[in-house]
Amino acid sequence: MMEFRYKIRVEFYDVDSMDVVWHGNYIKYFEAARCAFLREIGYDYANFRDDGFALPVVKLDIKYIKPLFFGDEAEILVRLKDATTMLKLEYQVLKDGEILNIANSTQVCVDIQKRLSMYELPSGFYRALKAKYEN
């Protein structure tokens, strides 16, 4: 299983009046980690678009266990769960090795011009993934 770690620091604009990260900001953290993960593979959102595809999130599940606070440094562990018909990723928000949050996202590949779900990812993605696994 492919894993990727992405570091974050909780900034003031991410917290509420009690210095706790607002629940919706975790989605922003997951998106940033997912973008970095795709760059690491060597096939990012620009590659999808250039090949004529969009990759919208169609499902997102989040379990909040413990909060992050202003100034905290944490990391997002991204795991590739499935890339057969859709892109499925798991995320863990970790601080000092403790799991604070667990989430799963599902993205489907959409042909931009036809506006149709493809239920397979572009061949370029699979080539990049294979090259990354082989190295």
How far is the C-alpha of 45 from the C-alpha of 66, rounded, in Å? 31
pLDDT in tens, 14-50: 999 999 999 999 999 999 999 999 999 999 999 999 9
| 46-69 pLDDT tens trace | 999 999 999 999 999 999 999 999
Count of structural domains, the chain: 1
Q: Write down the pTM of the prediction.
A: 0.93
User: Cα–Cα–Cα angle for 108, 36, 120, nearest 5°?
Assistant: 20
Range of the domain at 34: 3-134
Angle of helix 123-134 relative to helix 25-41, nearest 10 degrees? 80
Give the separation between CA 84 and CA 133, rounded to whole angstroms: 15
CATH number at residue 130: 3.10.129.10
Among 60, 75, 62, 77, CA closest to 22 = 62
Residue 105, both tokens: 């996202």
